[in-house]
Amino acid sequence: MKIKYQNLLNNTDNITIIMASNCSCYTKNNRKCKNKLYISINNKKICYIHAQKEFYNYALIIQTAWITFKKNKIFQLYLKLPDDIKNEIKLSIHRDYYLKKLLKKFLNNKINFIVNFDININNLMKNINELYNNYSYIFKYKFLIENNNITDIIKIANNTNQTCLDIITDIEQTYILYNQIVDQDMIDMRNFYAGFTYELFEFNIWLSNKL
């Protein structure tokens, strides 16, 4: 906070502005200050820098008192408003807080789903769309994950990742073993699981860095 002390103190009776002498204060090294521009307060010559150091706390107290006064005045006006207007004001002020609170609740529901999900090849392939849908929201709002959940989520994501890799291996080995022609649906399935494993891998790296 920069305060122009010359302007603030110019009208005080015991302060005069002098333009042709050095500051009478001393530096931290106990040397005489060589600054030319200064003010004289009670016959003490002070440069602009030393004035800031000496009067900053006083200026801060005055400003704090003034801000508190204005806030109290506004609050008194707020108390006189009708309830419906009060509620609109509170909603506007706390909108970000309520949004974050709702997102956390939404995210916790998604986390609970993957925590309780039975991870095996058959169940994963049968419910892959629902599982991926829940993970996609967790990926999106991962910055809201609480630290006490990270270790469990890393373990679950690793298990899910390994199961997806097993499915990819089964797809590839089946068609190599039986020398069958791979249709487009099977290629798309393999690519989907590969993309999912990559997302899970990056997700786990991000979580590990938060620990």
**pLDDT, position 181:** 58
Contacting residues for 33 by C-beta, under 8 A, at least 6 apart: 22, 23, 24, 25, 26, 27, 47, 49, 50
Domain parsing of the chain, residue ranges: 5-79, 96-210
Query: What residues contact 48, with CB distance under 8 A and at least 6 apart?
Result: 5, 6, 35, 37, 38, 39
* Cα–Cα distance, 205 to 199 (Å, whole number): 10
pLDDT of residue 178: 64
> Tokens 């069958």 identify what position?
180
| Model pLDDT, residue 77 | 78
pLDDT digits (tens, 9 = 90+) for 48-96: 888 888 778 888 888 888 888 888 887 787 777 788 777 777 777 777 8
CA 100 to the chain's CA centroid: 11
- Given a contact cutoff of 8 angstroms between Cβ atoms, the answer to whether 114 and 134 are in contact is yes
CA dist 124 and 117 (Å) reads 9
Q: Residue 19 above 80 pLDDT? A: no
What residue has token string 């068609």?
Answer: 175
